[in-house]
Chains A and B, each alone.
Chain A
């Protein structure tokens, strides 16, 4: 009996040491540039590269389910590799229960809902090649992360209360001063910046529509390249201003108002 448990103990210690060794090794994976220069890509890496292309230029590479002019990279900055800017190395956190749809979400459903809400498009089917490619890219980014543990810099920082309510009119002034030259006067985008309002942007069901999340994103990353230069109150104000802009309806409540969007565009009511 003792010898049996001694063997077991030895085995446990050795396996712990081995996994500690493995975990401490730096994770090697080929860079995207390296993958793009290869002449032959197997099934996994060709999907990784396709997913990378979709994330960086969604209207061009995934036009079928994409509704507006946003690319994934416009919010998941630097193709999902920047900390505190919604990085995409989060495959270890899925599948998980989400309050948004009350279901146990796998990474596939999470990506599909991103197309429906944040891209103001259609819900792709489970086996859509775009969804599989993005899932491959996310798994590529998440290589080396520990399952179940949130990676460092995940999502956006949560701003603590400033003591004052978010003020949209102050937000409008800040927007005109600091954001309009990239994102356009009415928020419908410009050469430099993606649309943050209107039907070509995310719709009212997206995570970015919630003031908490967009304030954290704006405070940490905006103006682009000068993150954390705004005060937290200023970020909340701008987020509140963007929240009240006209954008696509929430698909959960909009009930096909999306059909009227082209009509509204034609009449000049929506941009």
Chain B
């Protein structure tokens, strides 16, 4: 119990360390500039008006940072935003006040689900997710984000499809009717700029893509006029940063709330699994102890409390965490400062931000999706057959069915491949043709899963005397023990007898059966 309370209290130990204020402020400033387009893009991904992304980038990050133990930065997360949008879409029109209400209620439920995960000390469960499959899920989410961004880039109104390849078909077959060529030019220039800058200056490629896209949009609007280009612009963001928002709950919508609760559990699982990955990355080069449970608590409490400021739920943000580290931040001060800098910057530049074309936002989303497709991880996974197959299966399930099933399949496959790998036994065979004795040494576990391997050994060496060396096995189950006893009896009557070197005293299971 005192451990729980210790995890609930925010941790201010970073204040006592020596802080390089200049470095932290620099990291905060650059982080703020790079976070603003990312936040707006993820709000667009969730189907919300853009200012909600900024609320999330400020409040969820601030509270998660204050209560967390590591330097992990929470905030808008691509997979979580996409799941939010997909969960609420059947119940309300995108962007309407009812939709926003449902998203905020769902975010609150996600926070509660994360707190339940914290109370049940389930950070261990996430260690059983194989990183190969998390990469597969991330790649699948990247492809889905790419497909989502396509309708903004071609300038057509939102195309609602059930499968991502339907959208490709609609766009390719009917592009003359549905495209806005000006929007396509803006989106194309954004993506090309992003790709070029990714090679040369990888730290600033999102900002460069945003600037070039906006300039191209301004140029086109200036040459041809807004009524002719019909470019969708971002518009004025009515930022109500310091308003306390009251969420309306209605008994009439109770069935919708129950369905949202189911989605909330799945979103919480995905958010926490991404948090765990970032924490594992941070543990490698951390100079303070990281408590994974405390970070789960921080995420939960951040999601619950920031809902009242209008922020939707966030997860761990890879980009921002890496950014902080790259720019030399050594403590949480950079993150906290960047939240305030975001408020200041958006207030000052609100008139200019209004002119950003939505095609540019879609282009940025395309770049984010491209970054999430991890080809290197796929090539690495192909080196082992089991990893490669599970990667492909998870990826296909995420794209073709949905993300929740993908997560379930990933978990099952993680556990199964782990069991499969653990159950491989190593066999050393040394043949002695003079005396016709073959010595077989077994390393590993002999349990019901390795029954067949044991039978195979006996069959392979049925024409000679066999010496079975079991000193190095770590577990002996009753089934294989029975098999060995029977085989010994069978061979004793024939010419090919079998001797067994019994397992050592450290062997688990039933080694005494072989006495």
Of the 9-residue stretches B78-86, B225-233, B296-304, B467-475, which lies at the interface with chain A? B225-233
Instruction: Give per-residue flags for A120-137: 1 if the beta carbon is below 8 A from chain B beta carbons, else 0.
Output: 011111111100110000
Given contacts A46-B96, A126-B157, A132-B93, contact A64 B236 (CB under 8 A): yes
Name the residue of chain A whose CB is nearest to the CB of B235: A64
Check if A116 is an interface residue, CB within 8 A of chain B: yes
Query: Which residues 209-225 of B sit at the A interface, judged by CB distance below 8 A?
Result: 218, 221-223, 225
Minimal beta-carbon separation of A201 from chain B (angstroms)? 17
The total of chain B residues at the interface (CB under 8 A) is: 35
Decide if A113 touches B227 in the complex (CB within 8 Å): yes
Decide if B235 touches A129 in the complex (CB within 8 Å): no
Check if A146 is an interface residue, CB within 8 A of chain B: no
Instruction: Give per-residue flags for B89-103: 1 if the beta carbon is below 8 A from chain A beta carbons, else 0.
Output: 000111111110000
Q: How far is the CA of A129 from the CA of B100 in the complex (A)?
A: 11
Decide if B355 touches A123 in the complex (CB within 8 Å): no
Decide if B95 touches A129 in the complex (CB within 8 Å): yes
Residues of B within 8 A of A122 (CB): 226, 233, 235-236, 354
* Most central of B222, B252, B354, B355 by chain A CB within 10 Å: B354
Instruction: Among A46, A113, A123, point to the contact of B232 (Cβ < 8 A).
Output: A123
Decide if B236 touches A133 in the complex (CB within 8 Å): no
Check if B158 is an interface residue, CB within 8 A of chain A: yes
Given contacts A123-B227, A127-B157, A127-B158, contact A47 B93 (CB under 8 A): yes
Given contacts A123-B232, A251-B225, A251-B226, contact A129 B355 (CB under 8 A): no
* Most central of A113, A125, A132 by chain B CB within 10 Å: A125
Q: Helix, strand, loop or mixed for chain B's interface? A: loop
Name the residue of chain B whose CB is nearest to the CB of A63: B238
Minimal beta-carbon separation of B253 from chain A (angstroms)? 8
Instruction: Among B94, B96, B158, B231, point to the contact of A50 (Cβ < 8 A).
Output: B96
Minimal beta-carbon separation of A204 from chain B (angstroms)? 13
Minimal beta-carbon separation of A59 from chain B (angstroms)? 9
Residues of B within 8 A of A251 (CB): 225-227
Check if A40 is an interface residue, CB within 8 A of chain B: yes
Decide if B49 touches A64 in the complex (CB within 8 Å): yes
Check if B358 is an interface residue, CB within 8 A of chain A: yes
Minimal beta-carbon separation of B75 from chain A (angstroms)? 23
Check if B487 is an interface residue, CB within 8 A of chain A: no
Check if B351 is an interface residue, CB within 8 A of chain A: yes
Instruction: Among B95, B228, B237, point to the contact of A128 (Cβ < 8 A).
Output: B95
Minimal beta-carbon separation of A229 from chain B (angstroms)? 37
Given contacts A116-B227, A123-B226, contact A66 B236 (CB under 8 A): yes
Decide if B225 touches A253 in the complex (CB within 8 Å): yes
Q: How far is the CA of A47 from the CA of B157 in the complex (A)?
A: 19
Residues of A within 8 A of B95 (CB): 128-129
Residues of A within 8 A of B355 (CB): 259
Query: Which residues 149-165 of A sit at the B interface, judged by CB distance below 8 A?
Result: none
Check if A262 is an interface residue, CB within 8 A of chain B: yes
Minimal beta-carbon separation of A140 from chain B (angstroms)? 16
Decide if B96 touches A133 in the complex (CB within 8 Å): yes
Q: How far is the CA of A94 from the CA of B96 in the complex (A)?
A: 24
Q: Helix, strand, loop or mixed for chain A's interface? A: loop
Residues of A within 8 A of B235 (CB): 64-65, 121-122, 124
Residues of A within 8 A of B99 (CB): 129
Check if A43 is an interface residue, CB within 8 A of chain B: yes
Instruction: Among B97, B238, B252, point to the contact of A40 (Cβ < 8 A).
Output: B252
Instruction: Give per-residue flags for B331-365: 1 if the beta carbon is below 8 A from chain A beta carbons, else 0.
Output: 00000000000000000000100110010000000
Residues of B within 8 A of A67 (CB): 236
Minimal beta-carbon separation of B459 from chain A (angstroms)? 68
Decide if B351 touches A40 in the complex (CB within 8 Å): no
Check if B460 is an interface residue, CB within 8 A of chain A: no
Check if A33 is an interface residue, CB within 8 A of chain B: no
Check if B250 is an interface residue, CB within 8 A of chain A: yes
Name the residue of chain B whose CB is nearest to the CB of A108: B157
Residues of A within 8 A of B354 (CB): 122
Residues of B within 8 A of A116 (CB): 226-227
Check if A101 is an interface residue, CB within 8 A of chain B: yes
Residues of A within 8 A of B230 (CB): 123
Decide if B250 touches A39 in the complex (CB within 8 Å): yes
Name the residue of chain A whose CB is nearest to the CB of B223: A255
Instruction: Give per-residue flags for B237-252: 1 if the beta carbon is below 8 A from chain A beta carbons, else 0.
Output: 1100000000000111
Name the residue of chain B whose CB is nearest to the CB of A130: B95
Q: How far is the CA of A109 from the CA of B157 in the complex (A)?
A: 13
Query: Which residues 217-258 of A sit at the B interface, judged by CB distance below 8 A?
Result: 251-256
Name the residue of chain A whose CB is nearest to the CB of B228: A252
Q: How far is the CA of A251 from the CA of B222 in the complex (A)?
A: 10
Query: Which residues 36-74 of A sit at the B interface, judged by CB distance below 8 A?
Result: 39-40, 43, 46-47, 50, 63-67
Name the residue of chain B whose CB is nearest to the CB of A113: B227
Q: How far is the CA of A43 from the CA of B97 in the complex (A)?
A: 11
Residues of A within 8 A of B158 (CB): 127
* Most central of B97, B237, B251 by chain A CB within 10 Å: B97
Residues of B within 8 A of A113 (CB): 227
Q: How far is the CA of A43 from the CA of B252 in the complex (A)?
A: 13
Name the residue of chain B whose CB is nearest to the CB of A53: B97
Decide if B236 touches A129 in the complex (CB within 8 Å): no
Q: How far is the CA of A251 from the CA of B233 in the complex (A)?
A: 14
Decide if A129 touches B94 in the complex (CB within 8 Å): yes
Minimal beta-carbon separation of B52 from chain A (angstroms)? 12
Decide if B232 touches A125 in the complex (CB within 8 Å): yes
Decide if B227 touches A63 in the complex (CB within 8 Å): no
Name the residue of chain A whose CB is nearest to the CB of B47: A129
Instruction: Give per-residue flags for B250-277: 1 if the beta carbon is below 8 A from chain A beta carbons, else 0.
Output: 1111000000000000000000000000
Decide if B94 touches A127 in the complex (CB within 8 Å): yes
Closest 8 CB pairs of A and B: A40-B252, A64-B235, A63-B238, A129-B95, A125-B232, A129-B96, A256-B222, A126-B157
Besides A43-B93, A65-B236, 14 new A-B residue pairs in contact (Cβ under 8 A), listed by A number: A50-B96, A101-B227, A122-B235, A122-B236, A123-B226, A123-B227, A125-B157, A125-B232, A129-B94, A129-B96, A132-B93, A133-B96, A254-B225, A255-B221
Taking Cβ atoms with an 8 Å cutoff, the residues of A that contact B are 39-40, 43, 46-47, 50, 63-67, 101, 113, 116, 121-129, 132-133, 251-256, 259, 262
Could you list some 12 contacts between A and B, CB below 8 A? A63-B236, A66-B236, A121-B236, A122-B236, A123-B233, A129-B94, A133-B96, A251-B226, A254-B225, A255-B223, A255-B225, A259-B355
